Amino acid sequence: MATMDDVKVSPEEIDALMATIQSTSDGRSRELGKDGAVHDVVSFDLVNARAGSQGRLPTLELINDRVAKALASRLSNRTSQQTDASAQATEALKFADCISSLASPGCLQVLELTGLRGTGILYFEPTLLFHMVDLLLGGKPTKLVDGVEILRKRGLTKVERRLFNYLAEALSEAVSESWESVTEFGIRPTRIETDTRQVALFEPGEMVVVSSFEVTIVGCTGTVHLVIPQASLRPIEKVLASGLLEEGADESGGWGAALTRLMREVTVECSAELGRTEMSLRELVELKVGDIVRLDRDPESTITVYVEGASKMHGVPTMRHGNIAVEIVQKVDYGTETES
């Protein structure tokens, strides 16, 4: 039997042994290859790798950009305040990781997913929700409140719950409109919760897709999260991973109508020219009260109406409610109009 004195280990073998021992701390192991050399063996998690690849849904990112724009418009209309919204990076997470990242207590709604099977979760950051509720009630908040602390003390009142539903409807409309060119999909709120433990709809290891929108309104910035189970998106997973999004005909009509409404509210300068004349600087300086300046048109001629310096209409002078006015008789025909 060999003793310890009979065992001879070379310095190279000792170095290889120590390297193998140290490599266990980072999840690596070593094996002897066919070439006689020692190679690192790295563990690979097939489940998490698949989940990560499914999380890359570029078309969903494009849809969320649409949702953000539509959400900002609807929140602006509801609160009568300028609201900005932007889509954040979409994440695929285990439900346990998702729910642990949300502040508790929080402002949550359990959703029914229409068009796609399953249920989802809507989460409003508490401070953002209370700020918007204050605006809806006619307030002018000068400082932000601690929404989480308010929920710990008293929860949500009936009025706040109704207004929460009112704001959730804005997101519901934005989602339905933005998904229309992809598939019929919508969200319908079913109940409100403030404890994240009451919305444990999925198994801890089940994968969910989290779409986040950063909302800014009157000095307050917060995040709205829409949580959808990955299984609900599986029937359209290929479409969402394609990176292509059809430009729906009604989409341009939507922003076109909004642009038209805004353009109609723009103030422009409108002037009517009674006539023109030319005079020297001396004649201009010598003008005094009571002098009459002769123009190049007779009293029966039409006068030109200019909008922002461009001739647009012809009219005749008249009186209306004691004021000098112009009665429009025709619009300028640019095919025959010659500028003087």
Per-residue pLDDT tens digits of the chain, which is 340 residues long: 545 455 566 766 666 666 655 554 444 555 656 666 666 555 544 444 444 444 467 889 889 999 999 999 999 999 888 999 999 988 999 999 999 999 889 999 999 999 888 999 999 999 999 999 999 998 887 788 899 999 999 999 999 999 999 999 999 999 999 998 888 899 999 999 999 889 989 999 999 999 999 999 988 999 999 999 999 998 888 888 876 666 554 444 445 666 776 777 788 889 888 888 898 999 889 999 989 888 888 877 888 899 888 888 889 888 888 888 888 988 887 655 544 4
Provide the mean pLDDT of the chain: 81
| Interstrand relation of 270-273 and 107-114 (parallel, antiparallel or unpaired) | unpaired
Q: Spelled out in words, what is the top-level CATH class assigned to the domain 270-331?
A: mainly beta
Question: Could you tell me the CA-to-CA distances from 39 to 21, 78, 135, 196, 311 in Å, in that order?
Answer: 14, 63, 64, 47, 83
Q: Among 123, 194, 128, which Cα is nearest to 156's?
A: 194
What type of residue sits at position 92? A
* pLDDT given at position 47: 42
Q: Among 112, 129, 115, 107, which Cα is nearest to 201's?
A: 112
* pLDDT given at position 18: 64
| Interstrand relation of 323-331 and 270-273 (parallel, antiparallel or unpaired) | unpaired
What type of residue sits at position 248? G
Cβ 220 vs Cβ 144: under 8 Å = yes
* pLDDT given at position 246: 63
Which residues is 112 bridged to in the sheet? Answer: 119, 188
- The reported pTM is 0.58
Pick the CATH number of 50-263 from 3.30.70.370, 3.40.1550.10, 3.40.50.740, 3.10.20.340: 3.40.1550.10
The boundaries of every CATH 2.30.330.10 domain in the chain are 270-331
Q: Rg of the chain over CA atoms, in angstroms?
A: 35
Instruction: Report the distance separating Cα 261 and Cα 54, nearest Å.
Output: 41
The boundaries of every CATH 3.40.1550.10 domain in the chain are 50-263
